Amino acid sequence: MTILLITAHIARDPGIDFGATEGRGIEAHRFRVGEDRGQLLDIHGDELPEDKARCFENFHARYNVQICPDYFEYNLSAMAAKDAEKKIEALREKIRHHEHLYYVLDNPAISDAEFDKLMQQLKDLESEHPTLVTPDSPTQRVGGKPREGFVKVRHSTPMLSLDNTYNEEELRGWERRVHELTGRKDVDYVCELKLDGMSLALIYEDGRLARGVTRGDGSVGEDVTLNVRTVRSIPLSIPKERLKKAGIPVDFEVRGELLMPTASFKRINEEREKNGLPTFANPRNFTAGTVRQLDANITAERRMDFFPYILLQNGRTYFDRHSKTLGALGDAGFKVNPNHKLVHSMDEVWSFIQGWEGKRESLPYEIDGIVVKVDRTALQDELGFTGKAPRWAIAYKYAARGGVTKLENIRWQTGRTGKLTPVAELVPIPIGGTTVRNATLHNMDEIRRLGVRIGDWVRVERGGDVIPKVVEVDKEHPRGDKDVEDPEKCQVCGNKVVRTEGEVDYRCVNANCPAKLLGTILHFASRGVMNIDGMGDALVTQLTERGLVKNVADIYKLTKADLLSLERFADKSAQNILNEIENSKQLPLERVIYGLGIRMVGERTAQFLAEHFGSMEALEQAGVEELQNVDEVGPRIAESIVEFFSIPANRKLVERLGQAGLAFKGKKRERGTKLAGKTFVLTGTLATYSRDEAKKMIEDAGGKVTGSVSKKTDYVVAGTDAGSKLDKAKELGVAVIDEQEMIRLVG
Ligand SMILES: [Zn+2]
């Protein structure tokens, strides 16, 4: 008997890292999954002999794993496992070392490319030797698939919040109580930055990260381990010798602050804005939203950071001084915030606080104050807790940089994506060295929450490099008398604006709106859309400024004379552009749909729409119901499409694109009718097929797969570990079937 190993990028459930099955008379072979996911090919792209294909099926069924569609291989050789193991461990050690230098110490010793190369070597080796993959391998930071919810976990000891003080007097008052309760005056304190993130508990067992838990209500939090693993400054495992050196036991709990650096926050918000998604108000909300992402891949993209400050064993503080805890955590390889200080008097505390007040803007993340803790654990124990906060620590909150001024008007500003943002026009006021004339109010919900009226005096704050915002109405002043009304028209083009059900933002959906013009044209001409090479920022700016292009259809009536009238255009370059424009007419229907810039219709949705409708005409006439039969199109996208085509200017634009000769017909994907009108929901892990495969099978048979169970659901297909969706199905009396039954239905 030969052991047959499957190596690959295996999308795995926690705990199933690899699989092995027996092969009989099958030679060593490398396999590949074809374009069509059900199809198995050998390495040359030929179809497999039947016995090999069957072996693959057996493996699938027996081990209940999903195989990534791109590539995997069988390896029959009785490989030199020992050698490989050594090599792999050495590589991991090296990678961990560089991860520590880069993410914890901010002091990389090798280039990103070199780091990536090490990582690739490890990935290759692990893929050759899947039995050697361990959960703490640096390759395993992102793994697993989106979950349906989070498990609640009780904290070893409550995670408390701190009491706040706002001035020196209150702080000295706190010190007095410390003196009274402990009966001594020689108390040491540790000052730390008050990071504006969210608290998180990390539980290590045998030196390995076992669990990451949010604060929750303080007593019970949520298990966010998979998300936490993607944070690079959090070690997945710490060598025992290293822990020993740091004086830390192998089983311990670390608590600290998870946060989003200001730069990541800005980058992601810009990206979301561009994609027509709602933006986050501040990095803290963003951090909370990110760590609770069900899909850990999203968390990984967001580059968060973790700073620890508490070390517990069995729920109790481990070291006899807080300053020792910070030192030991650093020695163990955690990213301890370097801006902390052990001091011996309240005067020193106060000068630490004052020193950082002016320097906060130089930090790459936001802080909102300073935390002061009694250094000795014995004194901490003596001081104990009030109902909800420790008496041995206090937060000093900085006053936000801001001022109070009069709000004279609110202007609705149309952005490139068509989103309308309310901007407060203020009586100019100096804040932190600059004169502030405008401040954002974010959206209509925020205006209602604050209860702002035009003519009110408002408090305006400015943090880091975030744009100034209105944070509250100052009620000491006489109130304004004019309510803020929802915008009706785009202030740039005068078109009616809309707000989709369930969304906060208003949008101008006029594709011809000048505010959106530049962005719309650049999108249309870009490589992934109509691929008009040479039509970049410089050219499009000139074309729009001169009024030669007022919408995307105008691109197709440009003449050589038009182009020659622009700066830096000669006969040849003008002709090149015209050729590019002409060539774009050959591109398929999905590109044209994508190019229209309909909100929430990205590349993939455009493709599904083209396949479903087969022509622009059919898409134009489709209603909300019909649109929802298209893959991945839910009510919001459907409404956005209907809305787009309901605007006469948009319909005219589409008509002109058709007259210009763009592809308005495509190839319709033929579908079965066996399951027509039936709606399915998939839950749990299926034995034979991946979710995507099962979805495709159902859809190819004419059925529809949705994400949540309702009365309209016909079948819930339940695999192993099915969660809340199964309960919901039972509650609503929806038919629950297993995988075999699903296969039978599909036929
Ligand atoms: Zn407009």
CA of 485 to the centre of ligand 1 (A): 18
Closest CA to 630 of 643, 642, 648: 642
Segment (H or E) for 457: strand 457-461
In this structure, are residues 33 and 67 in contact, taking their beta carbons and an 8 Å threshold?
yes
Amino acid at 356: W
State the burial class of residue 149 (Cβ atoms within 10 Å of its Cβ: 0-12, 13-18, 19+): exposed
pLDDT confidence band for 487 (50 / 70 / 90): very high
Alpha helix (H) residue ranges in 489-615: 514-525, 537-545, 560-564, 571-584, 589-595, 603-613
94 is catalytic: no
CB atoms within 10 A of CB 722: 18
* pLDDT computed for residue 174 by the predictor: 95
- What's the longest Cα–Cα distance across the chain? 90
> Which chain residues have CB less than 5 Å from ligand 1, an ion?
490, 492-493, 508, 510, 513
* pLDDT computed for residue 70 by the predictor: 31
Per-residue pLDDT for 103 more than 60? yes
Q: Which residue has the higher pLDDT, 409 or 545?
A: 409
* pLDDT computed for residue 306 by the predictor: 95
Q: Is 554 helix (H, G, I), strand (E, B) or coil?
A: helix
* Top-confidence range, 71-85, 368-382, 408-422: 368-382
CA of 730 to the centre of ligand 1 (A): 48
Cα distances from 482 to residues 168, 407, 457, in angstroms, run 40, 11, 13
* pLDDT computed for residue 274 by the predictor: 67
Rounded Cα distance between 216 and 142, Å, is 23
State the burial class of residue 154 (Cβ atoms within 10 Å of its Cβ: 0-12, 13-18, 19+): exposed
Per-residue pLDDT for 72 more than 50? no
CA of 555 to the centre of ligand 1 (A): 20
Give 582's contacts (C-beta < 8 A, 6+ positions apart).
none
pLDDT confidence band for 55 (50 / 70 / 90): low
Kindly state the average pLDDT of the residues 493-508. Answer: 85
Kindly state the average pLDDT of the residues 503-507. Answer: 85
Q: Is 627 helix (H, G, I), strand (E, B) or coil?
A: helix
CA of 595 to the centre of ligand 1 (A): 18
Kindly state the average pLDDT of the residues 57-77. Answer: 39
**Catalytic residue (choose from 123, 152, 194, 667):** 194
CA of 413 to the centre of ligand 1 (A): 9
State the burial class of residue 316 (Cβ atoms within 10 Å of its Cβ: 0-12, 13-18, 19+): exposed
pTM tops 0.75, yes or no: no
CA of 551 to the centre of ligand 1 (A): 13
In the DSSP assignment, the letter for residue 360 is G
**Rg of the Cα trace of the chain?**
30
- Of 140-144, 148-152, 549-553, 706-710, the one with minimum mean pLDDT is 140-144
Tokens of 142: 């992102």
Rounded Cα distance between 287 and 196, Å, is 10
Kindly state the average pLDDT of the residues 65-73. Answer: 35
In this structure, are residues 703 and 678 in contact, taking their beta carbons and an 8 Å threshold?
yes
* pLDDT computed for residue 20 by the predictor: 30
Per-residue pLDDT for 570 more than 70? yes
CA of 547 to the centre of ligand 1 (A): 17
Q: Residue 46 phi/psi, 5° resolution?
A: -85, 160
**How far from the centroid of its chain's Cα atoms is residue 649's Cα?**
35
Rounded Cα distance between 68 and 33, Å, is 9
Tokens of 313: 């064993």
Amino acid at 303: R
CA of 530 to the centre of ligand 1 (A): 23
Amino acid at 103: Y
CA of 515 to the centre of ligand 1 (A): 6
Q: What integer best gives the mean pLDDT of the chain? A: 81
Tokens of 81: 């496992």
The rounded percent of the chain whose pLDDT value lies above 90 is: 36
pLDDT confidence band for 31 (50 / 70 / 90): very low
Per-residue pLDDT for 312 more than 50? yes
Closest CA to 143 of 13, 18, 236, 20: 13
CA of 642 to the centre of ligand 1 (A): 18
Per-residue pLDDT for 281 more than 90? no
Q: How many residues does the chain have?
A: 747
CA of 639 to the centre of ligand 1 (A): 19
In this structure, are residues 461 and 472 in contact, taking their beta carbons and an 8 Å threshold?
no
Name residue 258's beta-bridge partners.
198, 306
* pLDDT computed for residue 148 by the predictor: 56
* pLDDT computed for residue 52 by the predictor: 52
Kindly state the average pLDDT of the residues 119-137. Answer: 84
How would DSSP label each residue in 479-507? Answer: PP-EEPPPP-B-TTT--BEE--TT-S-EE
CA of 513 to the centre of ligand 1 (A): 4
Q: Which residue has the higher pLDDT, 717 or 9?
A: 717
CA of 578 to the centre of ligand 1 (A): 29
- pLDDT tens profile 331-384: 999 999 999 999 999 999 999 999 998 788 788 888 889 999 999 999 999 998
**How far from the centroid of its chain's Cα atoms is residue 560's Cα?**
45
Per-residue pLDDT for 637 more than 80? yes
- The sheet carrying 679-683 orders its strands as 704-706, 679-683, 715-718, 735-737
pLDDT confidence band for 22 (50 / 70 / 90): very low
CA of 511 to the centre of ligand 1 (A): 8
Alpha helix (H) residue ranges in 168-215: 168-182
Segment (H or E) for 471: strand 469-473
In this structure, are residues 487 and 506 in contact, taking their beta carbons and an 8 Å threshold?
yes
Category of 247 on φ-ψ map: left (φ > 0), alpha (ψ -120 to 50) or beta: left
* pLDDT computed for residue 50 by the predictor: 52
CA of 500 to the centre of ligand 1 (A): 16
Kindly state the average pLDDT of the residues 565-594. Answer: 91
End-to-end distance of the chain based on CA atoms, in angstroms? Answer: 36
Per-residue pLDDT for 253 more than 60? yes
Q: Mind listing the domains of the chain with CATH numbers?
A: 1-78 (no CATH), 82-139 (1.10.287.610), 164-397 (3.30.470.30), 402-483 (2.40.50.140), 514-659 (1.10.150.20), 679-746 (3.40.50.10190)
Tokens of 596: 């229209």
CA of 492 to the centre of ligand 1 (A): 5
Per-residue pLDDT for 603 more than 90? no
- Of 237-241, 345-349, 489-493, the one with minimum mean pLDDT is 489-493
CA of 658 to the centre of ligand 1 (A): 24
- Of 92-106, 332-346, 602-616, 620-634, the one with minimum mean pLDDT is 92-106
- Of 367-371, 465-469, 596-600, 664-668, the one with minimum mean pLDDT is 465-469
CA of 471 to the centre of ligand 1 (A): 28
